[in-house]
Structure 1
Amino acid sequence: MSRFTVEESNLMCIYNTGSRADLLFELSEMQSHLSDEETELLVLTKTVIGKLSAMSDEEFDSLSGELIPDFEEQED
C-alpha cells in the first residue's frame, strides 16, 4: 500500500466500511465536523480523499485486504 502513508492508512482503517464509495462518504462526513484548529487532521483527510477519488473501485478492492486486519491465528 505504498501510495498511502502510515497515517493515511490508519485513518482509512478507522473509517473503512468495505467500499471506496462508503469510505469517501465517511471521511467527508467526519471532515465536516472538524474545527478550524484541527488543521493536521483536515489536511490528512483531504489528502486521503484526493487519493481515493483518483483510484478506481478495482484498485481500492485490491488494497482493501490490507486495511482489514486478519485477527485469525496462523497455524504453523
Structure 2
Amino acid sequence: MIRLTVEETNLLSIYNEGGKRGLIENVNAALPYMDADMRELAQRTLAKVDALTEEEYAELALYAADEV
C-alpha cells in the first residue's frame, strides 16, 4: 500500500468523487488553475494514485485532516 502525506490525503479528499477515475479526472481538470507548488503536489499525488488498482484505491481512507 502507498504512503500518503497529510497534504496528499487532503487533496484527495477534496477531489474524491466517482472512484479512482473520477478523482483523476477532477484533479486533471483543476491542474491549470493551481499555482506551481499545488500543481507539483497534485501531480505527485496523481502518480501515486495511478499506481493503485481500483481495489487498493477503494481501501484508502480519504478524509480531510481536520475531520480526524
Q: If the length of structure 1 is used for normalisation, what is the TM-score?
A: 0.75
| Alignment length (residue pairs) | 64
Q: Which has the larger radius of gyration?
A: 1
Deviating above 6 A after TM superposition, structure 1's stretches of 4 or more consecutive aligned residues are: none
Deviations 1:30-58 (A, max 9, x none): 00223xxx111010000111001111101
Assess if the C-alpha contact under 8 Å between 2:27 and 2:42 holds in 1. yes
Relative contact order (C-alpha < 8 Å, sep 6+): which is higher? 2
1:48-67 equivalences in 2 (<5 Å): 48-63=45-60, 66-67=61-62
CA-atom RMSD in angstroms: 1.8
| Unpaired segments ≥5 residues, structure 1 | 70-76
Following superposition, the deviation at residue 23 of structure 1 comes to: 0.3
Give the aligned partner of residue 28 of structure 1.
28
- Amino acid in the other structure paired with 1:54: A
Q: If the length of structure 2 is used for normalisation, what is the TM-score?
A: 0.83
- Amino acid in the other structure paired with 2:62: L
| Unpaired segments ≥5 residues, structure 2 | none
